[in-house]
Each structure stands twice: as C-alpha cells, then as structure tokens.
C-alpha cells in the first residue's frame, strides 16, 4: 500500500504518465491510483489515507453488489436480495480475510468497474449506447488490471457468444448477445492500443506476469490452497481454537453454501445473461487460481470472487418478484399450504444468520487498531534528522509514508542494487539523491562483513526497535569505492 501511495503522490505532483516507474504485474493506473491521488490531495501522504481508500473501495463494492443483486426488483423481493448479498459481504474475516478483500490494493478495486458494467447490462442492456460503454469500461479496467481478461472480458464474450450461437437455428435471433460479445473483444483491442500509447509516450513499465501453469500432476498438490478461498467469506475455521472467532467462522459457512447453491441453480435453469457472466467469472477465477497461482499465502488474487458470488446468490436465491421462493420445489410437487410456513422458516433462519454476521462485525470492531509496523523507526529517523537512506522492500516505502515523505527510504537488494518493483528509477540516481544510511533487520555477521568491504566502515551504528541503522559519510547510491 505504501508504494501505491507514493505512486499516487507522484501522479498528484505532475508525473501524469508515471515516467520512470516500474510497476508490479498490475498497474492500477486508471483506477485506484487516481483514487489515491485524489485522496492524497485532501488527506496528504499518510498511511491512514490508504485505509480511507480501502474503506471507500469496499463501500463502493458493497453498494454495487446490492444494486446488481436487486436486479430492478422492488418491495419484499428487493429487500430479500439486499439482505442476502449484503449479508455475504458484511463482515470479512479478521487478518487474512480483511487483507484479501479490503487492504490488498488491486483485484477487489477492479471489481468496481466490472460490477458497474454488469449493472449497465442488467438495467439498460437494450439501449444502443450500452455496448460501446461496456467496451470503454472493460478496456479501462483491463489497463489497470490484467485479471479483467478472466473476470470480465472472457465471461462476457463466452456467455454472450454462446447465447447467440444457441439462437442461430431459430428465426430472428437476438443480436444483442452478439453485439455484447463483440464489445468484449473490442475492449481487449482498445486496452492494447491504450497500453501501446502509454508506452510510446514514455509512461510506466509493468513487470511481466509471473505465471507458472501447473501440469495435471501438480494440480493435486495445489488443491489444498483452495481452502484459502474461505477467507473471502469469513469462513476459514482451520486452526482456530474454540471461542468466538471459531463460532463466527462456522456461521459464515452458510455464505459458502448459499453461493454453491446459486451456482448450481444457475446451471440447472436458463439464467439471465448477467447471472451466467457472474457464474462463469467465478469459475474462471477459481480455475486460474488453482492452475497457476494458488498458494497458502492468501486469496487476495481472487478477491473478485466474493462480490460476484454475493450478487449471484442474491439474484438467484431470494424470493422471486412473483411470490414464492427461488428455492426450487421438487418436480411434480406444487407449493401447498405448507409453502408459507417453509418460506417463513427460511426467512427466520436467514434473519438469525444475518444477525450473527452483524454481531461478528461488531465483535471485530472491538479490536483496537494497530499502528503502522515501522512507526517507531520512522519517528526515530525524523527526530534524529535523517533524510535519505536505503532499506529492504518491506521497510523502505512504509517508512517513507509514515514520515510524510520527510525521510525518503528506497528499497534495495542485499547487494544494494535498486529493487525495481513498484519503484521509480529516479530514486536511485546519485546525481539527484543522497542516501547516507542503511536500515537492516537483524543482520548477520557475514552481512556486516560484506557491507564493510563494499561501503567501508560505518560512521555510526544505532539499534532502533529491532532494526540496525548504519550511517556513512558518503552517498551509498554511488558505486562502491
């Protein structure tokens, strides 16, 4: 998050194309970077600005999920859809869950333009201006995040194309589906052109996507990582001791069951185009995760699955606008006198689960917020007059942001080479910058020996909050003597 704040700060101060920046494999450029820059213009460069941005993003996601779930209904049906979709989104799991769907900049933010696109298709799909607007929205999102290929463009192209192909034997097939499929393909082309223009104008550089496609023999070993998907729904009970967190995690398994039921219902009946797009998007995201990047570190790479799943569950499992329930009655059995009773029982059970989720949210709010991890170090550097230095990736930009850019610390490798991952090459130009200190975390004797050989003896050594701060009377950005 600190690096994204620094990118937004540079954007705000005139580097519109972010010339010299080496991004990660996701640029965030036309979406969250603009959001961060606007917030920084009001709130300044502070880590708290990132938390405001995260809260804003998640609020937008929840609102769009609810609007999409409602599907143009009103009255009790709209209320039921709102409660199902909003309930699934209401309380991310502490720690890993909050990180995956809230604090991790990237894919959860990408769901905002995607949900907006599906909302347009759902509410205004037959107006002439919808396909070109969908093209622009999808292209805009794809420039920011390549996951849009799997979560947006491919689902729309596949679903709309298949729906149109299934109508070809009939007279007068609905061309709307064909036009939307073409809009998805056009979005990919438009994004490619936009990225080429940005490169030609000297804009930022995106790092290659580190994708390893697993062989069929490797898939069983990666399958346990799918357990981390439960983090998205607040339902990861693995390793929890008996207590409130375990009870809340088990309660959130209801959300997982609802989503599975919604996916099954989407397969069993002729669902709407938006329902099918959401379902295909979920499946493709999970397949990509399992086949390439699944790990036990977390599920933030597939955070889009949560809003898609919540919207789909709300659309397919709530009572229909015509009365009755969306839960299918067994074949050949009509809803009789017992139907209202069953509906009331389901409503009561749903209300109980939702109250449990809200109680869980209140429980989570009782935990005090933690200060930034490197805040004591940052305060010490400011108090002792330090201005520019080097550190490893996890300390560098966070210290810079914690000090409000008063102390500029740049990320380097173990050999003091520039670490160009979400970094600006100008930071490492010795003609522009003077770095005279180095932050190390529990350095070994061999590391200190190599540093002395490379940079000469340190002028001073300080121990600060578990870190070693070494200073020199020379610019560490210049080649060693």
Average pLDDT score over the chain? 86
Exposure string of 83-111, with b = 16+ CB inside 10 Å and e = fewer, is bbbbbbbbbbbbebbbbbbbbbbbbbbbb
Q: Is residue 477 domain-resident?
A: no
- Which of the listed ranges 231-240, 254-263, 313-322, 347-356 does the model predict with the highest average pLDDT? 254-263
Together in a domain, 428 and 314: no
- Considering only 237-241, 255-259, 429-433, 472-476, which range has the smallest mean pLDDT? 237-241
Q: Across the chain, how many H-helices and E-strands are there?
A: 19, 7
Together in a domain, 344 and 382: no
Question: Of 439, 448, 391, nearest to 418 (Cα)?
Answer: 391
Q: Report CA torsion sign: 120, 125, 129, 133.
A: positive
Q: Kindly tell me if the per-residue pLDDT of 467 is higher than 50.
A: yes
The gap from C-alpha 255 to its chain's centroid, in whole angstroms, comes to: 20
d(CA 390, CA 423): 13
- In the prediction, which pLDDT does 293 show? 64
Averaged pLDDT, 123-138 = 92
Q: Is residue 209 domain-resident?
A: yes
Q: Is residue 197 domain-resident?
A: yes
Together in a domain, 163 and 245: yes
% of the chain beyond a pLDDT of 90: 52
Total tally of structural domains belonging to the chain: 2
Q: Per residue in 428-463, pLDDT tens?
A: 999 999 999 999 988 888 888 888 888 888 999 999
Domain limits at 396?
Answer: 375-471
Backbone angles phi, psi at 228, to 5 degrees: -65, -15
Could you identify the residue written with the tokens 């409000």?
404
Averaged pLDDT, 292-308 = 76
Together in a domain, 273 and 401: no
Together in a domain, 58 and 78: yes
- In the prediction, which pLDDT does 305 show? 92
Together in a domain, 390 and 258: no
Q: Per residue in 182-192, pLDDT tens?
A: 999 999 999 99
Per DSSP, the residues of 256-319 read HHHHHHHHHHHHHTT--HHHHHHHHHHHHHHHHIIIII--TT-SGGGTTHHHHHHHHHHHHHSP
Averaged pLDDT, 191-195 = 96
Averaged pLDDT, 79-105 = 78
- In the prediction, which pLDDT does 170 show? 75
Q: Kindly tell me if the per-residue pLDDT of 476 is higher than 80.
A: yes
Question: Of 262, 286, 236, 307, nearest to 58 (Cα)?
Answer: 307
Averaged pLDDT, 274-282 = 96
Together in a domain, 298 and 437: no
Q: Kindly tell me if the per-residue pLDDT of 8 is higher than 90.
A: yes
CB-based contact 5:401 (threshold 8 Å): yes
Residue 442 CB neighbour total at 10 angstroms = 8
Q: Is residue 164 domain-resident?
A: yes
- In the prediction, which pLDDT does 328 show? 42
Together in a domain, 447 and 310: no
Together in a domain, 309 and 400: no
Number of Cα atoms under 13 Å in the Cβ half of residue 125: 20
Name the band, by pLDDT with cuts 50, 70 and 90, for residue 113: very high
Tell me which of 241 and 43 has the higher pLDDT: 43
Q: Is residue 370 domain-resident?
A: no
Averaged pLDDT, 149-174 = 88
- In the prediction, which pLDDT does 274 show? 95
- In the prediction, which pLDDT does 343 show? 62
Q: Is residue 479 domain-resident?
A: no
Exposure string of 450-461, with b = 16+ CB inside 10 Å and e = fewer, is ebeeebeebeee
Q: Is residue 391 domain-resident?
A: yes
Q: Kindly tell me if the per-residue pLDDT of 359 is higher than 60.
A: yes
d(CA 146, CA 281): 14
Together in a domain, 431 and 348: no
- Considering only 81-95, 137-151, 414-428, which range has the smallest mean pLDDT? 81-95
Q: Kindly tell me if the per-residue pLDDT of 298 is higher than 80.
A: no
> At a CB cut-off of 8 Å and minimum separation 6, what does 267 contact?
279
Q: Kindly tell me if the per-residue pLDDT of 411 is higher than 90.
A: yes
- Considering only 90-94, 182-186, 235-239, 394-398, which range has the smallest mean pLDDT? 90-94
Nearest 5°: the CA angle 375, 381, 385 is: 150
Together in a domain, 183 and 294: yes
Residue 292 CB neighbour total at 10 angstroms = 15
Backbone angles phi, psi at 331, to 5 degrees: -55, 130
Averaged pLDDT, 217-229 = 77
Averaged pLDDT, 86-110 = 75
Q: Kindly tell me if the per-residue pLDDT of 316 is higher than 60.
A: yes
Structure tokens at 135: 């093209």
Together in a domain, 343 and 404: no
């Amino acid at each position: 998050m600190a690096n994204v704040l620094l990118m937004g700060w540079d954007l705000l101060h005139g580097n519109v194309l972010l010339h010299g920046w080496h991004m990660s494999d996701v640029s965030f450029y036309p979406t969250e970077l603009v959001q961060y820059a606007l917030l920084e213009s009001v709130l300044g460069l502070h880590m708290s600005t990132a938390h405001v941005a995260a809260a804003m993003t998640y609020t937008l996601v929840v609102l769009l999920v609810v609007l999409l779930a409602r599907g143009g209904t009103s009255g009790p049906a709209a209320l039921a859809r709102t409660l199902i979709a909003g309930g699934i989104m209401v309380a991310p799991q502490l720690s890993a869950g909050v990180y995956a769907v809230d604090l991790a900049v990237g894919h959860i933010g990408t769901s905002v333009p995607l949900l907006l696109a599906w909302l347009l298709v759902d509410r205004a799909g037959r107006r002439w201006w919808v396909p070109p607007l969908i093209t622009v929205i999808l292209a805009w999102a794809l420039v920011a995040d390549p996951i849009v290929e799997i979560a947006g463009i491919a689902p729309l192209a596949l679903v709309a194309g298949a729906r149109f192909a299934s109508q070809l034997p009939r007279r007068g097939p609905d061309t709307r589906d064909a036009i939307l499929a073409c809009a998805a393909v056009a979005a990919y082309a438009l994004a490619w052109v936009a990225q080429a223009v940005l490169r030609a104008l000297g804009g930022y550089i995106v790092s290659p996507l580190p994708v390893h496609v697993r062989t069929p023999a490797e898939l069983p070993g990666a399958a346990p990582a799918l357990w981390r998907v439960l983090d998205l729904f607040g339902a990861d009970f693995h390793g929890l001791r008996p207590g409130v967190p375990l009870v809340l995690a088990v309660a959130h398994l209801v959300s997982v069951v609802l989503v599975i039921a919604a996916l099954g219902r989407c397969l069993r009946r002729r669902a709407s185009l938006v329902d099918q797009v959401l379902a295909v998007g979920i499946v493709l995201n999970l397949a990509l995760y399992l086949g390439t990047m699944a790990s036990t570190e977390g599920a933030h790479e597939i955070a889009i699955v949560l809003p898609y799943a919540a919207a789909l569950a709300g659309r397919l499992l709530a009572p229909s606008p015509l009365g009755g329930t969306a839960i299918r009655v067994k074949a050949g059995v009509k809803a009789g006198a017992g139907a209202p009773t069953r509906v009331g029982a389901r409503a009561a059970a749903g209300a109980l689960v939702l109250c449990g989720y809200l109680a869980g949210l209140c429980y989570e709010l009782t935990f005090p917020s933690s200060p930034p991890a490197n805040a004591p170090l940052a305060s010490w550097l400011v108090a002792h007059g330090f201005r520019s230095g080097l550190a490893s990736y996890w300390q560098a930009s966070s210290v810079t942001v914690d000090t409000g850019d008063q102390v500029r610390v740049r990320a380097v490798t173990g050999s003091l080479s520039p670490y160009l991952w979400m970094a600006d090459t100008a930071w490492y130009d010795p003609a522009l910058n003077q770095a005279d200190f180095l932050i190390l975390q529990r350095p070994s004797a061999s590391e200190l020996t190599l540093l002395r050989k490379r940079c000469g003896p340190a002028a001073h050594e300080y121990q600060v909050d578990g870190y070693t701060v070494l200073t020199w009377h020379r610019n560490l950005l210049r080649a060693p003597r």
